[in-house]
Every structure is written in structure tokens, then in C-alpha cells.
Amino acid sequence: MLAGCKAWPEEFAARYRQAGCWQGETFSGMLRRRAVEYGDRIAIVSGDGRMSYAELDEKAGRLASGFLQLGIKARDRVIVQLPNIPQFFEVIFALFRIGALPVFSLPAHRKNEIAYLCEFTEAAAYVIPDTDAGFDYRGLAKQVRDAVPALRHVLVVGEPGEFTPLADLYDAEPMIDMFEESDAGDVAFLQLSGGTTGLPKLIPRTHDDYIYSLRQSAGICGLNEYSVYLAALPVAHNYPLSSPGVLGTLYAGGKIVLARGGSPDEVFPLIAAEGVTIAAVVPPLALIWLDAAESRHFDLSNLQVLQVGGAKFIAEAAKRVRTSIGCKLQQVYGMAEGLVNYTRLDDPEDTIINTQGRPMSPYDEIRIVDDADEEVAPGEVGHLLTRGPYTIRGYYQAEDHNAKSFTADGFYRTGDLARMTSDHYLVIEGRAKDQINRGGDKVAAEEVENHLLAHPGVFDAAVVSMPDEYLGERTCAFVIPYETSVTGGELKTFLKERGLAVYKIPDRVEFVDSLPQTGVGKVSKKMLRDSIAEKTKRLS
Ligand code: J2J
């Protein structure tokens, strides 16, 4: 296993292999087999462009030689920051082919996040688009390279500026005999955690464990070679990547339709034109789709399943999916660390509307415990812990943090508060972790607090969630200033200039003289949450 990663104990690994969860398949092998099996069938649609399974396999192979020629080799880490474009797939499958590891970052990440990822993973290369959604990633790459001189290569899809065009790599001399077949039990890539700490944690996922999650997900979601998956969320995120997402679609031999955004005007015509059968959204986007479908006529008759996940989808909205969009709703509660739960397509309406599903694998173990790690009574709310064939046993190079995030017997502490219904479905009731879930975008309070504390005018800061009708939650920063002259706008600009992703910038800043404390002298985030909820309720 890659250095810095914690493997499953041998007795568990043996069990998962024996049960047929882990089948020894690698991503590279998976694409090769699909290319043989499905050859000319379309794998990816993007605008007017169409790419077959055979073409994807062929391009990944050429690009793999290009990476090798550049000096990128097995186990090297490569930061991949690409939007929903076909090159995303060419790049990651090329890296899989040579045994190098993609590190998935989101299009919204900026200098702060990317420089950290480059440094922490000692990345050999960073792959970006030239521009996307009005943002020039080459400017960002310059800042990153200045901050991390050890970064050897910046590869650009499109106009390269001062960097290397990715397009050049496809013309490399074939170096097939130097491709290194990965071990299916080893780490395939690093995924980013939603995070609760000052610095984001990285999640090592193996071929065996992730491909198992794709197989289970594809089965539960009824994917086959006739399925058409609409990718409206950024594909690097674990949910659209794997639940069943774009990789689950490739696993099943289906067709991926890439969208660059999620607005009904862009994606609803695609649903009709491309025959989309399944789409995945987060709750705020679901609300926009519901409103649009109710107010205007669109032909959505192809769509069979709308998945909603990433944040709690309230029952009132969930009820509208069948009547307004005319398809089945599937609730998805998952995490990049592993465990994913689905409501099943044939579940009773009441289960689909009121629960967040049940684990996808019979080998997922769930415990719901109190603060002392004692199991709560059946049906009671508690901390959700989990262990299983596709849930990691530790973050990448994070031994101290791992001791807190995992129990001694290997259960991952999700940080979510849940209860289990009598038929073993989970209902998410809240969160104990210090994180804000901004409509599916996760913000670690401590990370934002550290940046605020770096401002000379800030004496202390605490970041909490506040209720929001549309996003579910937004962020509010409570700040004790050194001097009263500092403004909220100034602090937001300061954070932006430090290169923090925009979704992490607090939506609201409240200046206070002191922060309320708990009995043990810690800042009481509960009191802060209650106070801002009360204040915003009064104002609305
Ligand atoms: C309430 N909270 C939810 C839900 C995630 C599939 C789906 C989602 C993710 C994901 C994922 C929720 N209701 N339906 O990786 O494969 C919150 C929980 C959870 C955290 C994980 C997947 N679905 N959440 O959202 O790693 O708090 O993964 O612990 O980004 O999102 O966030 P993330």
C-alpha cells in the first residue's frame, strides 16, 4: 500500500475478497475490458463531441505514454483540476494506466487549496483547463508554482500560455512496455474530504474498494449499457464520480452526458436530446429543477431517476419530485471516506421521502452511539460510525488525526447524527462535526477561522452555520475585532485575496465583544448557531 496509508487488517481484507467484494480489478483493466466489450458504443457526450469506449481507451493509452515521457511515473501524484470535459476522463485513465495517482480537486478551489495539495502530496504535475466559467486557471497555476517551486509540470487543456499544452502529450512515442499494472489492492487515487480541520484531509481509495462501490451502486441504481447519466455536478466530487456517477456509468457500459452547469435551460434540453435516464443533483439544484419543471413545459419523459444527495433533502421538496418531474426520487447519503446509502428504486414512497436510504453493501457495518461510544437504544439519535469494504481505515499521512476520526477497531466517525428506522434505513438528524454544509459544499469551520485570525484586525473568530431556505445552511463568522474600524466586506476581501475558494467565504460577518463559552471553556458553537438563527428569523 502507498506509504502514509492505512490498509484494512488482513482478516477483513480476506473476508472482503472471499465475499467477492474485492475482485482484483483495476481501473486500467476496467477500461480495457469495456473497450473490448463496447468498442464503438458512446461513452461520453460533451456538446457536439462524442467519444466511444474504444476512443477513450486509445486516447488514455496515448496520453499515458506522454505522461511517462514527461517523467511522471508509478505512484507519482498529479493534481487534476478539470471541469466536466472529456479530457478529465482521458487524464485520469492515462494516470491509472501508468500507476500514477490522480488527486481530485474541485474547479472552485483556488491558490490556498491547490498550493496545499501540491505541497502535501509532493505533486509531480498539475492539470488545468485554460479558462472555465470566466476564470483563468493559468493565472492560478502561476501563483501555485510561485508558492510551490517543486511542482515540475503544469499541463493545460486548451491555450497553454507559459505552460505545457496537454495536447502535445498525445503525440508521444508509444511506451506501452513501460506501463505499470497496478495492484488492485493499492491506492488508485486521493480524494478530498469535506473536512473539519484547518487543513483538508486526503482520502486514499484503492482500485478494489472503489470498483466494488461502483459495482454495487450501478446495480442498486439499475444501470446498464442503455443507461444515460447526466453529469451536472463537478465530476471530481465523490458523489457524481461514484454514486454511481460517471465511473459507475462507465462500469455499466452506459453513456455519460457532460453538462457544464446545472441550470434547467442548459440541462433540460439535454435530457430530451440525449435520452438521459438518470441525473444526480444536490438539494438546492433539485429545488431549481422542481420550480422550472412546475412553471414551464419541458420534455423530461426520458428521465427515470433523479438522485438527490450531498445534504439533507427536506420531505416537502422530496414529495414534489414524482409529481413535478415525473420520475423516481432516490435519496443518496454518502461520503468520500466510503459509506454510501441509497433509497432503493422500489422502496415505498414513504421511505423514499423520509429517509436517506440504507447502506449499499451487506458488509457495511453501522453503529449509532452516544458521546461515550455506547450504542444508543434502537431508533434513538446518535453518532454514526461505520466500517466496511469500501470505507477507509485512515486518511493519507494523518496519524494524529486518524486516532480521533477512527475508533480503535477501525470504525470511521462520520460526524453525522443519525437514527435508524425499524427497517434499517438511516435518517440524518444533524451533525456533530465542526463543518458547514452549504448546499452540498462542505466548509471546515476551523479552516476559515484560521484565515480570519490571520487578519491583523481580528482578535478571535468562530464560524458556524445559519439556516438558509435555499442552501439549507450558509456560513456566519462571529468576529471579535481588535479595533472597530474593520468591516465585514474587508474581511471577505482579505479571505479571497488569500486564495480561499469562494464557497468558503463567510456569507455573513457578525462583530461581537465576546464569544459564549461552554462549561469547559470552549466556544459554544451551539449558542452562536442559535443566536444567528434567531436573529435572521426576526429579520425575515
Ligand atoms: C444529509 N447529509 C448528507 C444527505 C451527504 C454520495 C452522496 C454524497 C456524498 C457527499 C458522497 C447527505 N443528507 N443525503 O461522497 O458518494 C453530508 C454528511 C456527510 C458529508 C459527506 C457520495 N449526503 N451528506 O456529500 O464527502 O454530513 O460526500 O458526512 O462531500 O455530507 O460529504 P462528502
At 470-493, the pLDDT tens digits run 999 999 999 999 977 899 999 999
How many whole angstroms from 358 Cα to the centroid of ligand 1? 13
pLDDT at 377 over 80: yes
Contact criterion met (CB below 8 Å) for 355 and 336? no
Ligand 1 and 437: CB distance under 6 A:
yes
Hey, what amino acid is at 358? R
Q: Could you tell me the CATH superfamily of domain 210-431?
A: ANL, N-terminal domain (3.40.50.12780)
| Nine-digit cell string for 372 | 461515550
Write down the pLDDT at residue 484.
Answer: 76
- What are the angstrom distances between the C-alpha of 4 and each of 1, 131, 202, 203, 226? 8, 34, 11, 11, 40
Pairing of strands 412-420, 382-387: antiparallel
Contact criterion met (CB below 8 Å) for 114 and 200? no
Write down the pLDDT at residue 240.
Answer: 98
DSSP state of 470: T
pLDDT at 540 over 80: no
Contacts of 137 (CB under 8 A, 6+ apart): 81, 128, 129, 130, 131, 156
Q: For residue 105, which of 235, 218, 14, 212 has the smallest C-alpha distance?
A: 235
Q: Where are the domains of the chain?
A: 27-41+48-182, 210-431, 435-539
Ligand 1 and 309: CB distance under 6 A:
yes
CA atoms within 13 A on the CB side of 204: 23
Return the ligand 1 atom nearest residue 213 CA. 16
Ligand 1 and 201: CB distance under 6 A:
no
Ligand 1 and 442: CB distance under 6 A:
yes
Torsion sign, CA atoms 519, 521, 522, 524? positive
Does the ipTM exceed 0.85? yes
Residue pLDDT, tens place only, 147-183: 999 999 999 999 999 999 999 999 998 888 888 889 9
Write down the pLDDT at residue 105.
Answer: 97
Hey, what amino acid is at 305? V
Report residue 271 CA to chain centroid gap. 23
Q: How many CB atoms lie within 10 A of CB 4?
A: 15
Residue pLDDT, tens place only, 504-527: 999 999 999 999 999 888 999 999
For residues 14, 16, 17, 19, the Cα torsion angle rounded to the nearest 10 degrees is 120
Residue pLDDT, tens place only, 217-248: 999 999 999 999 999 999 999 999 999 999 99
How many whole angstroms from 441 Cα to the centroid of ligand 1? 9
pLDDT at 7 over 90: yes
How many whole angstroms from 416 Cα to the centroid of ligand 1? 10
Q: What is the mean pLDDT of residues 2-23?
A: 97
Angle, alpha carbons 126-127-128 (nearest 5°): 120
Write down the pLDDT at residue 8.
Answer: 98
How many whole angstroms from 333 Cα to the centroid of ligand 1? 5
Residue pLDDT, tens place only, 245-262: 999 999 999 999 999 999
Write down the pLDDT at residue 196.
Answer: 86
Write down the pLDDT at residue 519.
Answer: 87
210-431 shares the fold of 27-41+48-182: yes
How many whole angstroms from 236 Cα to the centroid of ligand 1? 14
CA-closest residue to ligand 1 atom 30? 194
CA-closest residue to ligand 1 atom 16? 239
How many whole angstroms from 346 Cα to the centroid of ligand 1? 22
Q: Which CATH fold topology does 435-539 show?
A: GMP Synthetase; Chain A, domain 3 (3.30.300)
Q: For residue 345, which of 187, 186, 219, 179 has the smallest C-alpha distance?
A: 219
pLDDT at 138 over 90: yes
Q: What is the mean pLDDT of the chain?
A: 97
DSSP state of 181: P
State what percent of residues in the chain have pLDDT above 90: 94
Hey, what amino acid is at 105? S
Strand partners, 229: 256, 278
pLDDT at 73 over 90: yes
Residue pLDDT, tens place only, 306-352: 999 999 999 999 999 999 999 999 999 999 999 999 999 999 999 99
- Residue to substitute in 192, 239, 366 for testing ligand 1 pocket (most ligand atoms within 8 angstroms of CB): 239
pLDDT at 396 over 90: yes
CATH class of 27-41+48-182: alpha beta
From 108-122, 403-417, 525-539, the region with the lowest mean pLDDT: 525-539
pTM: 0.97
